[in-house]
Amino acid sequence: MTVKETMTEQKTITFIISRQDELNSESYTEEFKIPYRPNMNVISALMEIRRNPYNARGEKTTPISWDMGCLEEVCGACSMVINGKPRQSCTALIDQLEQPIRLEPMKTFPVVRDLQVDRSRMFDSLKKVKAWIPIDGTYDLGPGPRMPEKKRQWAYELSKCMTCGVCLEACPNVNSKSDFIGPAPLSQVRLFNAHPTGAMNKSERLESIMGDGGLASCGNSQNCVQACPKGIPLTTSIAALNRDTSFQMFRGFFGSDKEA
């Protein structure tokens, strides 16, 4: 019997949800049962619990707290661990999940409440590597520089990153005892260094990942590229950055400011 046939027969969906009242509270689990409807995703199930916040024992409880935004796997806000796998809850279809469905917050980040986490660690890393294109002034600068089509195509793949944090959750080297910035910020270094205007800060970005918490902290587990919901070639970016930082180190050693 398929998962869908089983749920149709039972007419209910069982969730075991990890809960935490606030930042420093102890976590606990709570079980919920909600009516099954075809084509539900995890977000719609959480909304059902929020509308009727009673657990499986019939006790009134507090609504589940979680983050969401676009509901179409673009914003990256609704990341959580679903049946042991970090992923987007908006694209996690109930019909494709084994019951009971277990929901947990990503452990890489501090828990704000229930399934809601504080992803500041990742955003601070993006600031560290200057993951943006600097523009001086608000006046019209005219048409921007053109990129070769081949470079534009692979740069577009890197630009799909939605800062969801799934790759950091999957990476064993990103944890509370490590200052490793993780795969997503590293890939953004490659993206913005490839841009004709962003390349003006290429050396600065490379220097920022050559120190503590940078490339040397990557253990090459390759979990990140398997977990990425957008299929971004993260390990390819890390390999390219290893080459770029090697050239950067030699340029620094010989006192040359010329870019490769």
Question: H or E segment at 237?
Answer: helix 234-253
Give the CATH number of the domain where residue 129 resides: 1.10.1060.10
* Rg of the chain taking only CA atoms, in angstroms: 22
Domain that holds residue 219: 120-253
* pLDDT for residue 260 is more than 50: no
Rounded CA separation 109/23 (Å): 11
Q: Say how many residues make up the chain.
A: 260
* pLDDT at site 11: 85
Domain boundary among 86, 117, 148: 117
State the pairing for strand pair 12-19/101-104. parallel
Q: What share of the chain in percent tops pLDDT 90?
A: 81
One domain, residues 104 and 131: no
pLDDT at position 5 over 60:
no
- 8 A C-beta contact, residue 135 and residue 74: no
Query: Is 258 a member of any domain?
Result: no
Question: Final residue of a domain: which of 88, 117, 146?
Answer: 117
Domain count, the chain: 2
Q: Are 113 and 18 in contact (CB under 8 A)?
A: no
* pLDDT for the residue numbered 141: 72
Average pLDDT over residues 11-35: 95
Contact 116, 124 (CB under 8 A): no
113 and 124 together in one domain = no
Instruction: Point out the domain boundary residue: 100, 117, 134.
Output: 117
For the segment 225-243, the average pLDDT, to the nearest whole number, is 95
Question: Cα-Cα-Cα-Cα dihedral of 24, 170, 150, 143, to 10°?
Answer: 0
pLDDT at 82 over 60: yes
Same domain membership, residue 170 and residue 129: yes
